[in-house]
Amino acid sequence: MLLISKKTLYRNLLGGVLSLSAVASALADPASDAVAQVAAALGGADRLEQLHNQVVSARFTGYAPLEAPTPGGTPEKIDGVNYQMTLALDGSRYRTQWQLAIDFPLQASYDFSEIINGDHGAVLGVDNLLQVPQAPMQAIRLAARKMEYLVTSPVEIVKAMLAAPATVTLHGSRETRKQNVSVLGLRKYGREILLWVDNASHLPLQATYWDANPSYGDMEITTRYADWLPADGIMQPMRIEQVNRDQLLVHIEVQTVNFNVTFIRDPFAVPAELSVPLDEKLFNIGLKYSNWFHRFLLVGIPFDLDQFAPESVFLQPVGQGVFYLRGYTHHSLIVEMADYLLLFDPVLLEERTQAVLPVIKRQWPNKKIRYVIPTHFHVDHSAGVRGYVADGASLVSTQADRKFYRDVLDARHVVYPDLLSLLDADARLLTIADGADYVFDDGQRRVRLLQIDNRHAPGLIVPYIEDEKMLFVSDLFSPGLFSAPLPPQFSFWALDLYNDLLTRGLDIRTLVGAHGGVGSYQEFLDAVRATFALAP
153 versus 329: smaller Cβ distance to Zn ion? 329
Of 93-101, 214-222, 374-382, 405-413, which segment contacts Zn ion by CB under 5 A? 374-382
10 versus 328: smaller Cβ distance to Zn ion? 328
Which of 104, 86, 103 has its CA nearest to residue 95? 86
Q: How far is the CB of 64 from Zn ion (least distance, A)?
A: 10
445 is a contact residue toward Zn ion (CB under 5 A): no
How many residues bind Zn ion (CB under 5 A)? The answer is 2
Structure letter (DSSP) for residue 467 = G
Of 125-133, 157-165, 375-383, 527-535, which segment contacts Zn ion by CB under 5 A? 375-383
Q: How far is the CB of 460 from Zn ion (least distance, A)?
A: 8
Interacting positions 130-189 with Zn ion (CB under 5 A): none
Interacting positions 28-67 with Zn ion (CB under 5 A): none
Q: Residues in the chain, how many?
A: 536
378 is a contact residue toward Zn ion (CB under 5 A): yes
241 versus 475: smaller Cβ distance to Zn ion? 475
The three state secondary structure string of 102-164 is ECCCCCEEEEEEEEEECCEEEEECCCCCCCCCEEECCHHHHHHHHHHHHHCCHHHHHHHHHHC
Q: How far is the CB of 68 from Zn ion (least distance, A)?
A: 10
Asked if 416 contacts 399 with a C-beta cutoff of 8 angstroms, the reply is no
- CA-to-CA distance for 372 and 275, rounded, in angstroms? 40
Structure letter (DSSP) for residue 79 = E
Q: How far is the CB of 394 from Zn ion (least distance, A)?
A: 22
Interacting positions 464-523 with Zn ion (CB under 5 A): 475
Q: How far is the CB of 474 from Zn ion (least distance, A)?
A: 6
336 versus 475: smaller Cβ distance to Zn ion? 475
Interacting positions 269-298 with Zn ion (CB under 5 A): none
159 versus 378: smaller Cβ distance to Zn ion? 378
378 versus 386: smaller Cβ distance to Zn ion? 378
62 versus 267: smaller Cβ distance to Zn ion? 62
Cα 54 from chain centre: 27
137 versus 473: smaller Cβ distance to Zn ion? 473
Q: How far is the CB of 457 from Zn ion (least distance, A)?
A: 6
Q: How far is the CB of 133 from Zn ion (least distance, A)?
A: 29
Q: How far is the CB of 515 from Zn ion (least distance, A)?
A: 9
270 versus 325: smaller Cβ distance to Zn ion? 325
Of 182-190, 199-207, 237-245, 376-384, which segment contacts Zn ion by CB under 5 A? 376-384
Q: How far is the CB of 69 from Zn ion (least distance, A)?
A: 9
211 is a contact residue toward Zn ion (CB under 5 A): no
**CA distance to 131, 246, 339, 430, 449, per residue, from 441 (Å):** 43, 44, 11, 16, 11
85 versus 473: smaller Cβ distance to Zn ion? 473
- CA-to-CA distance for 424 and 117, rounded, in angstroms? 42
Q: How far is the CB of 456 from Zn ion (least distance, A)?
A: 6
- The residue whose Cβ lies closest to Zn ion is 378
- CA-to-CA distance for 416 and 210, rounded, in angstroms? 9
Provide the pairing of β-strand 470-473 with 510-513: parallel
DSSP secondary structure string, 366-425?
T-EEEEEE-SS--HHHHTTHHHHHHTTPEEEE-TTTHHHHHHHHH---SSS--HHHHHT-
Plot region of 243 (φ>0 → left; ψ -120 to 50 → alpha; else → beta): beta
Backbone angles phi, psi at 137, to 5 degrees: -75, 130
CA angle 193, 196, 199 (to 5 degrees): 150
Q: Which residues of 19-45 are buried (b: 16+ CB within 10 A; e: fewer)?
A: eeeeeeeeeebebbebbbbbbebbbeb
In sequence order, the β-bridge partners of residue 187 are 192
Positions in the binding site for Zn ion (CB under 5 A): 378, 475
